[in-house]
């Protein structure tokens, strides 16, 4: 019987009030490779996905969500923004 994993929420479904909220673009990294996901402002509900400096792909919300989960399974990590140092 397969184990049921707790579904990992995609970054664009997390509310601003949540501690895990990240502004877009969302960047997934694995070694020197990076994949950028951002919303398509012209087509609401669609997303752009771009690997390194390759051509941008337009994806539906479902495709973006499935792709995000596959990338996490392949070992990509969501990059957290660097915190600014506060000088005292």
Q: What are phi and psi of 66, to 5 degrees?
A: -65, -40
Question: What's residue 3's pLDDT?
Answer: 59
Rounded CA-CA distance 58/63 in Å is 9
C-alpha dihedral sign at 82, 36, 10, 13 = positive
pLDDT in 10s for each residue of the chain, 88 residues: 555 666 678 888 887 777 777 888 999 999 999 999 999 888 878 999 999 999 999 999 999 999 999 999 999 999 886 665 556 5
| Residue 34: both structure tokens together | 């990076």
Rounded CA-CA distance 69/54 in Å is 21
3-state secondary structure of 87: coil
Question: What's residue 71's pLDDT?
Answer: 94
Per-residue pLDDT tens for 37-61?
999 888 878 999 999 999 999 999 9
3-state secondary structure of 86: coil
């Amino acid at each position: 019987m397969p184990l049921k994993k707790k579904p990992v929420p995609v970054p664009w479904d997390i509310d601003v009030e949540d501690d895990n909220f990240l502004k877009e673009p969302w960047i997934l990294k694995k070694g020197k490779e990076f994949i950028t996901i951002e919303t398509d402002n012209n087509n609401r509900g669609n997303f752009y996905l771009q690997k390194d400096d390759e051509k941008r792909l337009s994806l539906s919300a479902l495709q973006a969500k499935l792709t995000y989960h596959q990338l996490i399974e392949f070992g990509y990590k969501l990059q957290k923004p660097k915190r600014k140092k506060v000088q005292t």
